[in-house]
Structure 1
Amino acid sequence: MSEEQGQEEEQEREEERFGIGEAAARTGLDPDTLRYFERQGVLPAPRRDPAGRRQYVAADVELIRMLVHLRETGMPLADIAQFTGADADAEVADPSRLRLELLAAHRRRVEDRRDALDRALDVITRKIADFAGRTADSPEVLQRPDTTISYTVQGEGPLLFLVGAPVGRGGFAALADELAGQFTVVTHDPRGIGASRPTHGMAEPTPEVLAEDLAALVDTFTGAPALFVGTSGGAVTLLELAERHPHLVGSAVLHEPPLVTLLDDDTLADRAASAFAVAAADPQRAVQEFYDLSGAAHHTGPDQVPPVHVELPELPTAELDKNRYFLGRMAGPSVFYEPDIECLRRARLTVCAGTSSHHQMARRAADALAAALGRPLIDMPGNHMGASAEPAEFARALVPLLLPTAP
């Protein structure tokens, strides 16, 4: 026996060993499940004591925990058996390299599944907004010179307006429910969206026009400054409101205003303009182009970038009609809006972005806006759609920003 082999055996004798019951407790599995993994050939059989009882060490527990992660994320059992070394028929010259290859292939599968789930979540979130808008109590109506604006009020406390574009009452329904315990929450459908139906001769939904609609809505409640949260195009509306009517803005949280004008990226600007230009005639193409350039439906961390292209399914007629209006008339003026930075530095604005929005257009724009204003960029839960997709977590993060003295 070599000296090295002797040292390895000595180390094994010194390792803490424990039975199947403790191994199960440490991994959160039942003993029967551990036996099942052995029978299925996805977990190597552990050592046995002289009485034939299984004996586990810390490395066995770590391997079992890894097996659970691989199984939960859908790695094929044959691959798991190779990873754990339980496949006795496989002759492996370099186990470490094999494990690296198996994990790399599995990561690609998981990322593909995550992208598919993100797309499904986007559809589900929009449908929740649609149904919430249909089932909500009859909204109140604000008369404007060229149209009507539908709005809803709930809760009790400081006056808080949730502002979106194109997101309206339905898209904010879950977040409003979360905040209604601490605020009087006002949500509205921007002109041409939801119950604020487009009318003949209605002015185009530019940030300037949307800000005047919002100012009129605020005036129906109070002449004093109020609190605001704006997401995406709604954050752009709030920038214009702060410029035009600073006396109305007590404090505003701006989540990912997608301002291409703040990015030194002519290619991105050209792609956005192209998507908006074809929206009226070919909304499916416009949605695809804007989806790819914004990356907003994806979840990306600091070391990840959105995929260059993910083919979208054919949209139903109702979705196509909505995007003829949104991408054809509303999105362009918001994306290409140019804020007055000097004026806005005097306003109480907090700029934030999703922790899962890295390297996406709107987070990049939010980062540029925060830097221009001399403010920090605050991380918020989720991605560009965090306010609707993760309302409870988003609300918890919002409250300290709106009420700095809140616990």
Structure 2
Amino acid sequence: MNPTVTARTLAVPGARLHYEVRGDGPLVALIGAPMNADSFAPLADLLSADHTVLTADPRGINRSSVDDPDADSTPELRAADLARLITHLDAGPATVFGSSGGAGTALALVQAHPEQVRAVIAHEPPLGELLDDRDQVRANTADMIATHLAGDATGAWRKFLAQANIFLPEPVFQQMFGGEREPRQFADERFWFAHELLPSTCWQPDLAALRAVASRVAIGVGEESAGQFCDRTSNALAAALGIEPTAFPGGHIGFVDDPAAFDTRLREVLSASFPAPWGAWDSTATPSE
């Protein structure tokens, strides 16, 4: 049985955010960048059995419009958006699961607004500045952005996957990135390459601030992500914070590929790592505020 989904829009400085809420109980936010709310819907449906689940389109992506389409989307800016959403719902503090660029959003949120956060699971944050080869990563990222802005979207994606160390068989690559894009999909891709990719990968977290709240932070890594860019960055961040990385099913988008397995693992991690008052994560337990 599918849960009821309430979709609304919240005006924030410089943007109008599309967000969705389902379920009842302690608040969980599932956040991506550039992934939008639709990518998290299957996982959100499962979690909503005993939690209030917030999903949203990040500013400039899909249904979240921006006043200035040439302004960058930074982790700090997206964290401020998320803080306003949590305040607007009046259901916090929240457990925040952020993936990829959304992991940067979640980390920036707990740095700036720790009072709004019960726990953060930063799943594969792409923080290239933590790597020894950061200069090369930055140069490669600038090159793939320039390639996309010059009109070669397919070439840009090839360069992106090469740096990510993700191999796709050619038929799969062509299916995903070849040919014509839907106008909305192309607009989202262009915004991400032009205004979100570099600010997200070059963002430098405040490690001292994160160490101060490390008991509330887990760094997630996909079991199938070994050797990939985000495996390297996630392990670098975990080492810098003095914590062990936490394994999750699948790869970079394991929550999309197998939401049921991901739901089970997420509940296990939160029950083991973040005891009360961080929420009732046993699916057989009575939801508590």
Q: TM-score, normalised by structure 2?
A: 0.84
State the partner residue of 2:154: 284
Counterpart-to-counterpart distance in 1, 2:108 and 2:264:
27
2:211 maps to 1:342: no
Q: Which amino acid aligns with 1:317?
A: R
Q: 1:189 aligns with which of 57, 78, 86?
A: 57
Q: 1:317 aligns with which of 181, 185, 204?
A: 181
Q: 1:245 aligns with which of 100, 109, 113?
A: 113
> Could you tell me how far 1:281 is from its partner in structure 2?
2.2
Q: 1:295 aligns with which of 161, 165, 169?
A: 165
Counterpart-to-counterpart distance in 1, 2:47 and 2:137:
36
2:41 maps to 1:177: no
* Larger RCO (CA under 8 A, 6+ residues apart): 2
Cα RMSD after superposing both structures: 2.2
Instruction: Spell out, residue by residue over 1:192-231, the C-alpha distance to the aligned partner (whole angstroms, 9 max, x if none).
Output: 1121134346742111111111111011123742111000
> Could you tell me how far 1:382 is from its partner in structure 2?
0.2
Corresponding pairs, count? 263
Q: Which amino acid aligns with 2:102?
A: G
State the partner residue of 1:268: 137
Q: Which amino acid aligns with 1:395?
A: D
2:249 maps to 1:385: no
Instruction: Give the SS at the match of 2:118.
Output: strand
Counterpart-to-counterpart distance in 1, 2:15 and 2:167:
32
State the partner residue of 1:351: 219
Measured at CA, do residues 171 and 338 of structure 1 come closer, stay the same or move farther in structure 2, by a change above 3 Å? same
Counterpart-to-counterpart distance in 1, 2:10 and 2:186:
27
Measured at CA, do residues 203 and 292 of structure 1 come closer, stay the same or move farther in structure 2, by a change above 3 Å? same
Unaligned runs of 5+ in 1: 1-135, 299-306
> Could you tell me how far 1:327 is from its partner in structure 2?
1.6
Counterpart-to-counterpart distance in 2, 1:275 and 1:219:
37
Pairing of 1:96-107 with structure 2 (within 5 A): none
State the partner residue of 2:8: 140
Q: Which amino acid aligns with 1:346?
A: A
State the partner residue of 1:331: 197
Instruction: Give the SS at the match of 1:162.
Output: strand
Contact 1:233 1:258 in 2 (8 A): yes
Q: Which amino acid aligns with 2:45?
A: D
Counterpart-to-counterpart distance in 2, 1:182 and 1:288:
41
Measured at CA, do residues 175 and 137 of structure 1 come closer, stay the same or move farther in structure 2, by a change above 3 Å? closer
State the partner residue of 1:214: 82
> Could you tell me how far 1:329 is from its partner in structure 2?
1.1
Counterpart-to-counterpart distance in 2, 1:229 and 1:374:
20
Instruction: Give the SS at the match of 2:150.
Output: coil
Instruction: Give the SS at the match of 1:143.
Output: strand
State the partner residue of 1:29: none
> Could you tell me how far 1:255 is from its partner in structure 2?
0.4
Counterpart-to-counterpart distance in 1, 2:52 and 2:198:
31
State the partner residue of 2:270: 402
Contact 2:122 2:217 in 1 (8 A): yes
Contact 1:146 1:201 in 2 (8 A): no
Counterpart-to-counterpart distance in 1, 2:146 and 2:114:
33
Instruction: Give the SS at the match of 2:105.
Output: helix
Question: Which range is displaced more, 336-345 or 262-271?
Answer: 262-271
Instruction: Give the SS at the match of 2:50.
Output: coil
Q: Which has the larger radius of gyration?
A: 1
Counterpart-to-counterpart distance in 2, 1:310 and 1:339:
38
Q: TM-score, normalised by structure 1?
A: 0.61
Counterpart-to-counterpart distance in 1, 2:162 and 2:268:
34
Counterpart-to-counterpart distance in 2, 1:340 and 1:150:
28
> Could you tell me how far 1:297 is from its partner in structure 2?
6.2
2:26 maps to 1:158: yes
Q: Which amino acid aligns with 1:268?
A: V
Counterpart-to-counterpart distance in 1, 2:242 and 2:223:
20
2:237 maps to 1:369: yes
Instruction: Spell out, residue by residue over 1:123-162, the C-alpha distance to the aligned partner (whole angstroms, 9 max, x if none).
Output: xxxxxxxxxxxxx967211111222001110012210000
